[in-house]
Amino acid sequence: MASSNPKENAPKYLYLVKKLQELVEELHTAGSDCFPTERELCERYDVSRVTVRKALDELEKAGYIYRIQGKGAFVCQKKIQQTLFHLSSFSEDMSARQMISGSKVLAVETISASSTIAEKLYIEEGSPVILLKRLRLANRVPMAIETCYLAYPVGCIIKKHIVDDVSLYGLLKDKCGIKLVRAEQSIGVGLLEPWEMSLFGKDAPPYALQMTRQTFDEKQQAIEYVESKYRGDQYSYHISIKTE
């Protein structure tokens, strides 16, 4: 007769994966991101280290945890999901999720446009542009690093008024009379620089979602070009696809 015990019917590591998924939820509820060590898991579930490592591999592939060499395993936070069928600001995205958005200005200065920036803003290479770099926060938790490039006339107005926790899109509307209507956006995956990891916190994973956005007004003029890095363990994108 076959055993009715799922632990006996399934490979040990698969049973352990299920138990560790439950543990992740418990840690989410407790507000903890530190995952037990391999040794602690062996003792807690009475399994071998080989079984523990196989289970941890499965959890990492599924996005439940991430591991940092020499530091151990950490719980991935439940991700904030952004949809891609509607143009919205970071502040609007957080407000829609009943989260408090925030920002910290890291730099605001005048630079010469590189060939890439010039192409995105439809200006001559070497023309002055305003660079605005900010750390974006959700419920005071660092979520993204944004580097925004604005054409000089508009950027100069923004430079006078931008401070921590102020919406850039709000300033564009209220101070510049600009209504943004569409954007071209691309998404990739990359690694964080050491200084970027320090802004996100010591437990931040080394990977990030990389986003670029070219935003246009009603006259189809390019108003901004943005390069952003979002914490890979806390942010995701949702795309709605139709057949027609």
Residues 6+ apart with CB under 8 A from 29: none
- pLDDT tops 50 at residue 2: no
> 15-19, 79-83, 105-109: which has the minimum mean pLDDT?
79-83
Q: Is 23 helix (H, G, I), strand (E, B) or coil?
A: helix
* DSSP track, 45-86: HT--HHHHHHHHHHHHHTTSEEEETTTEEEEPPPPEEEESSS
Mean pLDDT, to the nearest integer, of 136-156? 91
The span from the CA of 50 to the CA of 239, in Å, is 38
Buried b (16+ CB within 10 A) or exposed e, 122-131: ebeeeeebbb
**Is there a contact between 79 and 233 (Cβ–Cβ < 8 Å)?**
yes
pLDDT digits (tens, 9 = 90+) for 56-89: 988 887 777 878 777 888 877 655 445 444 555 5
Give the Cα-Cα-Cα angle 171, 175, 177 (nearest 5 degrees): 100
- pLDDT tops 50 at residue 9: no
Among residues 70, 61, 71, 65, the alpha carbon closest in space to that of 32 is found at 65
pLDDT-derived band at 209 (thresholds 50, 70, 90) equals: confident
